[in-house]
Structure 1
Amino acid sequence: MEMAIWLVLFVIMVAFEAATLQLVSIWFAIGCLGGFFAALFGASVQVQIVLFLVISFLLLIAVKPLVGKYLKPKLTKTNAESLVGRRAKVTSLIDNVNGYGTVVVNGMEWTAVSADDAQVLEPETMVVIREIKGVKLIVEKED
């Protein structure tokens, strides 16, 4: 009778894992197999439950971080995100007070503002892109 219960719990856990893909219930499904084999060999219900809990929690604690690390998708920066840290050339005066300025990077013109509000950057000045806010590059003069 216990073997059937363990198999039913196993199927439920696998179905739940298939529905969520969170790598949580799969460890409990494997724990159910431990309980099933303990029941198969005639172990008491207490031993089955302890085996289920020990296997499940050991796998959850030890293996889940490793599996998550290898299954985590590699995030690729978008074109805009890849600009941070790159050099650009000022094409029109960057003046934060008056709210204008442009730079060219990778052959594309971007609206830009200075990271230092008081600093005005002249055309032909080389700058470094520090961050992106919306569609504006935040730049500072290259050292």
Structure 2
Amino acid sequence: MDKLMIFWAVVFAVAVVFELASMQLVSIWFAVGALAAFIASFYLPFTGQLAVFIGVTALMLIVTRPLIKKLKRPAVPTNHELDLGKQAIVIEDIDASAGTGRVRVQGVDWSASAKDGTPIKSGETVTVVEVSGARLTVEKS
């Protein structure tokens, strides 16, 4: 194994160790480029190996970085998930036997049912404890 092979193996190892330590996807592209340059060291002189390293690293950055950024994007809660734990006003009596009930949360009207099935009168304040589709499950505050 000549010195260039060792050089590319060390670059690969350092990039992998740094990636594992950071877990931020900052050096994985260099590791792939170094691996390609290591393989190229069997067939090409140093300038060719360097070109392979730069080319593969750049290609990996261009192709995979947008995909990785999209995958790492934090999930944005939907509007109804934001309503969990919020106070609501009953605007139509909640009656499990009749299947009726409406509440208003932050100015938006929702179908509602009581968590324990007990009737709740219009005008009472309730807390949203669950969201199921377009129906909120509430309990008395």
Give the match for residue 64 of structure 1: 65
Letter aligned with residue 3 of structure 1: M
* Unmatched tracts of structure 1, length 5 or more: 89-102, 110-143
Query: Given the alignment, which residue of 3, 6, 25 partners 1:4?
Result: 6
Give the match for residue 94 of structure 1: none
Aligned ranges 1:93-132 → 2 under 5 Å: 107-108=126-127
Identity %: 32
Partner Cα separation in structure 1 for residue 79 and residue 7 of structure 2: 50
- Note closer, same or farther for the CA distance 1:36–1:81 as it changes in structure 2 (3 Å cut): same
Q: CA shift at 1:27, angstroms?
A: 0.4
Tell me how many residue pairs correspond in the alignment: 93
* Unmatched tracts of structure 2, length 5 or more: 87-104, 110-122, 129-141
TM-score (norm 1): 0.54
- Note closer, same or farther for the CA distance 1:108–1:51 as it changes in structure 2 (3 Å cut): same
Give the match for residue 87 of structure 1: 108
Give the match for residue 134 of structure 2: none
Letter aligned with residue 55 of structure 1: V
TM-score (norm 2): 0.54
Give the match for residue 51 of structure 2: 50
- Note closer, same or farther for the CA distance 1:33–1:80 as it changes in structure 2 (3 Å cut): closer
Q: CA shift at 1:19, angstroms?
A: 1.1
What is the aligned-residue RMSD (CA, Å)? 3.0
- Note closer, same or farther for the CA distance 1:63–1:78 as it changes in structure 2 (3 Å cut): same
1:34–1:51 Cα contact (<8 Å) kept? yes
